[in-house]
Amino acid sequence: MGKLFDIILLALHSLSVHLVRSALTMLGIVFGVCSVTAMLAIQTGASKESQEKLSVLGSNNVIMNSIEPAQETTRDGGGHHGMSMKKFGITYKDLKCIVENVPGVLDYATVHNVKVRYYCPEDRNRLSLVMGVTPNYADILNLRISSGRFISAVDMLHMKPYCVITQTLARTAFKCLNPVGRTLKLKGQPFEIIGVIDYIPSKLGISEEDIPVFIPKTTKEGKFGQVNVNWYDGKMTSEDVQVDQLILKMKDESTVLTGAPVVRSIMEKNHDKLEYAIMIPLKLIQAKAAQQRIWDMIFFAIASISLIVGGIGIMNIMLASVTERTREIGVRRALGAKKRDIIIQFLFEAMTMTTLGGLIGVIIGYFVPPLLKDVVNVTPIVSVPMLIGPFLMAVAVGVISGLYPARRAAALDPIEALRHE
């Protein structure tokens, strides 16, 4: 043990003699470990944010949207100055068949859309997507209410002129004021704002640009009717869509995978054209997780290149050190040092540089990623395995890059080494 301790002290002395060179050599390992940690932290943070937005849709949900067929034929609406009627999408017949025949359906929510202009003192006369929804809509989609409340069964029963808006519309229309209790006019009709939701999941088929406003389904039908009338290039077009969106809440994830094909089969039987779209958030979440694993491997491989480059630098310096210290090696061998002792010394020197470089890289890699939050617009996530992995890689690089120079030093002939100038 004492002999091993002497070898380690000798190795540390050799590194301290060339302190600047040793420090510069370690920089490659420091940057390598730091870059691996930072890239993994950013990628993990981005993936988590993406999966959280998808999870809002609910892994136990099946979401269906009505879409207009690519070649929709119109029927004359009775000669009202060329007004044409379009009928497409999910029907109440589809809803009844699905609820009665698809196993594992616990609950469902329907959405009925209409585009109207809204008015408020700060932001007036813009087109908004008014969505007539049922009270369970927010619960099924796990929508977060930042202030106020969502639509209730009592609101539905009494056809209350209440509405729920998004945080984006609240900031745009009311600036710093609390919008709850204030009035928003939809197509000239006053609606009281009773709640504000944080945001709309992007995969839901609508966006903040649509300016979504939620009102009770019965209120939508009573005030705006079921047929939506639009003007395009001076021509009036009406759309009769019974259900714009249907959200099925399934018993668990397994019933999602077994029930979705049944839903698709029912819709194919009831419709000759593709006038609906079926989205399964669970599959999107699974696909995103698989994509995350692939990107993790790619980023890890790219960032590891800097560690490899650092290892090559250490090997180069150690080989140069062997040449410089040939006489020293010869003296040690002449005094009785074995090949094993020489290998341990040079190997320990290489591992010391990579270990210290790895520790410094881990420290920097822990504190730097959070500082990049505003730059990459993502909250990086640093975990313990994320720090341990690159550090172990740095130690492994030290062993690999130091092994060849150590064996080469040990293989020197003592007599020839003593003669070396």
pLDDT (0 to 100) of residue 74: 44
pLDDT (0 to 100) of residue 76: 46
Provide DSSP, 197-211.
ES---GGGS--GGG-
Of the chain, the percentage scoring pLDDT greater than 70 comes to: 84
For the ranges 134-138, 206-210, 255-259, 317-321, which has the lowest average pLDDT? 206-210
| pLDDT at position 28 over 90 | no
The band of 195, judged by pLDDT with boundaries at 50, 70 and 90, is very high
| pLDDT at position 81 over 60 | no
The band of 161, judged by pLDDT with boundaries at 50, 70 and 90, is very high
Of the chain, the percentage scoring pLDDT greater than 90 comes to: 17
SS3 63: strand
Identify whether the C-beta of residue 138 lies closer than 8 Å to the C-beta of residue 145: yes
Identify whether the C-beta of residue 343 lies closer than 8 Å to the C-beta of residue 410: yes
Tell me which residue of 33, 20, 7 sits closest to 358, measured CA to CA: 33
Q: For residue 20, how many other CB atoms are within 10 A of its CB?
A: 7
Tell me which residue of 212, 244, 204, 247 sits closest to 227, measured CA to CA: 244
Identify whether the C-beta of residue 248 lies closer than 8 Å to the C-beta of residue 108: yes
| pLDDT at position 141 over 60 | yes
Span 205-227, average pLDDT: 84
SS3 38: helix
For the ranges 40-54, 63-77, 80-94, 379-393, which has the lowest average pLDDT? 63-77
SS3 144: coil
pLDDT (0 to 100) of residue 79: 45
Identify whether the C-beta of residue 167 lies closer than 8 Å to the C-beta of residue 198: yes
Query: 357 — alpha (psi -120 to 50), left (phi > 0) or beta?
Result: alpha
Residue 189 CB contacts under 8 Å (≥ 6 apart), including other chains: 161, 223
For the ranges 56-60, 96-100, 185-189, which has the lowest average pLDDT? 56-60
Where helices occur in 57-164 by DSSP H, the ranges are 92-101, 137-141, 153-157
SS3 254: helix
pLDDT (0 to 100) of residue 69: 82
For the entire predicted model, the pTM comes to 0.61
Q: How far apart are CA 312 and CA 303, in angstroms?
A: 15
pLDDT (0 to 100) of residue 215: 94
Q: What residue type is assigned to position 153 of the chain?
A: A
pLDDT (0 to 100) of residue 124: 61
| pLDDT at position 57 over 90 | no
Q: How far apart are CA 264 and CA 256, in angstroms?
A: 12
- Say which residue, 298 or 7, is predicted with more confidence: 298
Q: What is the mean pLDDT of the chain?
A: 80
Angle at 35 between CA 32 and CA 37, to 5 degrees: 110
Tell me which residue of 287, 310, 134 sits closest to 220, measured CA to CA: 134
| pLDDT at position 401 over 90 | no
For the ranges 81-85, 157-161, 382-386, which has the lowest average pLDDT? 81-85
| Element (DSSP H or E) covering residue 112 | strand 105-119
Span 409-419, average pLDDT: 71
Span 53-76, average pLDDT: 70
- Say which residue, 212 or 54, is predicted with more confidence: 212
Chain centroid offset of residue 17 CA: 49
For the ranges 112-126, 341-355, 398-412, which has the lowest average pLDDT? 112-126
Q: How far apart are CA 403 and CA 133, in angstroms?
A: 69
Span 89-94, average pLDDT: 91
Span 81-107, average pLDDT: 84
The band of 70, judged by pLDDT with boundaries at 50, 70 and 90, is confident
The band of 300, judged by pLDDT with boundaries at 50, 70 and 90, is confident
The band of 77, judged by pLDDT with boundaries at 50, 70 and 90, is very low
Span 70-95, average pLDDT: 66
| pLDDT at position 75 over 50 | no
The band of 419, judged by pLDDT with boundaries at 50, 70 and 90, is low
pLDDT (0 to 100) of residue 154: 94
The band of 199, judged by pLDDT with boundaries at 50, 70 and 90, is confident
C-alpha pair distances (Å), 118 with each of 142, 176, 259: 26, 19, 39
Of the chain, the end-to-end C-alpha distance in Å amounts to 34
Sorted by where each begins, the domain ranges of the chain are: 2-53+287-419, 68-274
pLDDT (0 to 100) of residue 108: 92
Tell me which residue of 159, 166, 211, 210 sits closest to 189, measured CA to CA: 159
Span 207-221, average pLDDT: 87
